[in-house]
């Protein structure tokens, strides 16, 4: 499994100055296009959850690129998936948390009945940068009184120190960049 991890590194491209000057954008589209690489991501995450968090109840996927990995992982584990979405997408009563992006504010929401108090959840997104998005997702979990086992991402941009922002919740990443 860990030998196939090297393939993942080869399937992430870097684009300078996207979407704005000075940003080196890590692009996962080649990884999704290669079924072996995509399966390797899910294999590694499945192994992680089965060995460390057998008590898990649900995967929570983050809008939108967390939806590429979260539901696939949930299916592999034989458990359900709940959605954390950008503002205005979910019907019925919702909880919301606003967070700061590089430019301005955004808001994440979850349906108020998505999780029961005490249910054990792993949050899944494609990438951790400043941690603002994942932090807002953790706040939503707190509002529903769900328990966060771990925050899982495919890519962690270490220099932005997102994992520090998320303390005390643990972060697990497959690929790390400065």
Binding site for ligand HPA (CB under 6 A): 25-26, 127, 129
Indicate the residue among 11 and 26 with the shorter CB distance to ligand HPA. Answer: 26
Q: Which two tokens stand for residue 165?
A: 């922002």
What are phi and psi for residue 140, nearest 5 degrees? Answer: -65, -40
Taking CB under 6 A as the binding criterion, the range among 1-9, 44-52, 62-70, 107-115 that sits at the site for ligand PRP is: 62-70
CB of 55 to ligand PRP, least distance (A): 26
> Are the beta carbons of 102 and 110 closer than 8 angstroms?
no
65 is catalytic: yes
Q: Residue 131 — left, alpha, or beta (φ > 0 → left; ψ -120 to 50 → alpha)?
A: left
Q: Which two tokens stand for residue 31?
A: 């990884």
CB of 124 to ligand PRP, least distance (A): 10
74: helix, coil or strand?
helix
Indicate the residue among 77 and 124 with the shorter CB distance to ligand HPA. Answer: 124
> Are the beta carbons of 59 and 50 closer than 8 angstroms?
no
Taking CB under 6 A as the binding criterion, the range among 5-13, 26-34, 132-140, 142-150 that sits at the site for ligand PRP is: 132-140
Q: Pick from ligand HPA, ligand PRP, none: which does 26 bind, CB < 5 to 8 A by kind? A: ligand HPA
Indicate the residue among 126 and 150 with the shorter CB distance to ligand PRP. Answer: 126
39 is catalytic: no
Q: How far apart are CA 107 and CA 77, in angstroms?
A: 29
């Amino acid at each position: 499994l860990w030998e196939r991890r090297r393939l993942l590194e080869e399937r992430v491209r870097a684009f300078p100055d996207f979407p704005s000057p000075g940003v080196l954008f890590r692009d996962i589209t080649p990884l999704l296009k290669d079924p072996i690489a995509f399966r390797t991501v899910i294999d590694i995450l499945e192994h992680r959850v089965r060995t460390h968090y057998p008590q898990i109840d649900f995967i929570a996927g983050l809008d939108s690129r967390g939806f590429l990995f979260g539901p696939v992982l949930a299916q592999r584990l034989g458990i359900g998936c709940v959605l954390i979405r950008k503002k205005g997408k979910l019907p019925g009563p919702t909880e919301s948390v606003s967070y700061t992006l590089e430019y301005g504010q955004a808001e994440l929401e979850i349906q108020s009945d998505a999780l029961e108090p005490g249910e054990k959840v792993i949050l899944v997104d494609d990438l951790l940068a400043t941690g603002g998005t994942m932090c807002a997702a953790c706040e939503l979990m707190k509002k529903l009184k769900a328990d966060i086992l771990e925050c899982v991402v495919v890519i962690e941009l270490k220099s932005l120190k997102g994992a520090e922002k998320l303390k005390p919740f643990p972060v697990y990443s497959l690929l790390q960049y400065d």
